[in-house]
Amino acid sequence: MYPGGDAKPDEVLRLARQYQLAAQALLSLGRRGQPLSHAPFRLVAIHAIELHLNALLLAKGHASSKVRGMQHNLAARTDAAIALGLVLRKRTAQHLRSLSETREYLVSRYDPGLSAMSKINRLSATLDEVATKTAAIICQ
């Protein structure tokens, strides 16, 4: 038994929304010129994006073991979600792929130098777009 292995898409979506709210709250704690102060926002925002994509994949019939097998690869999730009908702006889809390529999830967790990070506004916009569009598909 894997934690969350039997979670329904709407349950994962509710969890994703909570992480999105947490990311929004953490955003206000970041200080200009101090990239490290934005690390908690980055981590939680990326996790919220991942959960939104997971909810969509589950809603469209992907097995939870297959979704879990993608680990933290947002590029794979993005490609799978787009194949299922998620329409993202080109820039957003590219950003999701770059998050995987630069391993931003891991960098935000472990690298105090925060090398190769997205701009805060870009990450926030990506989260908002993914959240809005995945929820619209799931809640149809």
Across the strands, what pairs with 34? 31
Give residue limits of the domains in the chain.
9-138
d(Cα 114, Cα 62) in Å, to the nearest integer? Answer: 33
The model carries a pTM of: 0.93
pLDDT in tens, 27-86: 999 988 888 888 899 999 999 999 999 999 999 999 999 999 999 999 999 999 999 999
Across the strands, what pairs with 9? none
